[in-house]
Amino acid sequence: MQIQSKLPKVGTTIFTVMSQLALEHGAINLGQGFPDFDPPEFLVDALARAMREGRNQYAPMSGIPALRQAIAAKTEAMYGHRPDADAEITVTSGASEAIFDAVAAVVRPGEEVIVLDPCYDCYEPAIALAGGVAVHVPLHPHDFSVDWQRVKDAITPRTRLIFINTPHNPSGAMLSAQDMATLAEILRDTPVLVLSDEVYEHIVYDGRRHESVLRYPELAARSFVVSSFGKTYHCTGWKLGYCIAPRALSAEFRKVHQYNTFCTFAPAQWAFAEMIERHPEHHLGLGAFYQPKRDRFRELLTRTRLLPLPVPGGYFQLVDYSQVSDLPDAEFARWLTVEKGVAAIPLSPFYQTAPAGQRLVRLCFAKSEETLQAAVARLQQL
């Protein structure tokens, strides 16, 4: 049977490919971004209790009220913006679902969506399935900052949406208050909407402040803001996230969500509502929890020939391997996994066109001390 693919450029994601390769060759998996330690004990207990108490049937389509109210209070405390829990917060089956729902809700065939390369690999497929056209604007190759003039130049009468991502995956770079002011100025007299991917919002270092678009009323009024419980609470396999957007955007978002997953894993919603309300110290202390891991991993990497780049936020470490090999990044990542026993993620799949001669791979340090030490012991052999 001949099928004309709606995603002809898409194969299996690089994360699945590298994790499978790691499994086949017994490699330490620093590729896919998941912690190898458990969620908070209170959260696990709350989930078990919710299931025992019979909270196992469909949740309301937009999320249980207790969770939406907890999110609203948390958002106000963090960013000074209190979304309407009933009309502006939607709980989703992970951040990826929220991204797909937002794009499907507002992008029409032929409309353009600006993405900043390197960008997370689910952005462009979501755009393509909506019939939109991804317009790739490269970040600066050295520090992954935004060239706002290039963004401004990329806006046309067909531009419907722009993606931003802070802290940035894969680089860990963060947008500043000046970046937000510039974005607001560029978009002020346009109908362009924003999708702000903020799944690593609480994992920031060195006293930095996460500049959510929700801090900026002019941007919040035109934005979908996507967050992830999985990243914040070390439970990526639970696949829960949420989207905050103004009433009109949320109404369109929910039209898609209700026919995509309709609702999201109910017992976990009750558990997260309880966790947010009773243990805010968890999300407030997440940067302090991860910073020693970041610093320790960077210290260990000094014993290798890999050069670590700065990491302002998130839990990924980019390393320059040019002192080790001239192989292109995908070939190097495969060689590193198969021959040296450490799985990494190449950067080229995050680009439409990767910079010539770039020799970078992404490693995840959301791991135990034992895992990081074992990985670096192998990396020292390079």
Q: What is the pLDDT of residues 297-323, one digit of tens each?
A: 999 999 999 999 999 999 999 999 999
Residues 368 and 233 in one domain: no
Residues 237 and 337 in one domain: no
Please give the Cα distance from 307 to 326 (Å, whole number): 14
Q: Is residue 171 part of a domain?
A: yes
Among 250, 282, 314, which residue terminates a domain? 282
Q: Is residue 83 part of a domain?
A: yes
- How many folded domains does the chain comprise? 2
Mean pLDDT for the stretch of residues 60-65: 98
Q: Would you say residue 151 has pLDDT above 90? A: yes
* Cα-Cα-Cα-Cα dihedral sign, residues 7, 9, 15, 16: positive
Residues 323 and 373 in one domain: yes
Residues 92 and 220 in one domain: yes
Q: Is residue 6 part of a domain?
A: no
Residues 262 and 291 in one domain: no
Q: Is residue 161 part of a domain?
A: yes
Residues 139 and 54 in one domain: yes
Specify the pLDDT at position 17.
Answer: 87
Closest CA to 33 of 9, 11, 13: 13
Among 229, 250, 282, which residue terminates a domain? 282
Q: Would you say residue 52 has pLDDT above 90? A: yes
Domain that holds residue 70: 41-282
Specify the pLDDT at position 34.
Answer: 87
Residues 180 and 51 in one domain: yes
Mean pLDDT for the stretch of residues 220-240: 97
Residues 308 and 363 in one domain: yes
Tens of pLDDT, residues 1-25: 888 899 988 888 888 888 898 899 9
Please state, rounded to an integer, the average pLDDT across all residues of the chain. 96
Q: Is residue 2 part of a domain?
A: no
Residues 76 and 24 in one domain: no
Among 282, 303, 332, which residue terminates a domain? 282
Q: Is residue 367 part of a domain?
A: yes
Specify the pLDDT at position 24.
Answer: 93
Residues 192 and 229 in one domain: yes
278-287 per-residue burial string, b: 16 or more CB within 10 A, e: under 16: ebeebbeebb
CA 56 to centroid of chain Cα atoms: 28
Q: How confident is the model at residue 80 (pLDDT cuts 50, 70, 90)?
A: very high
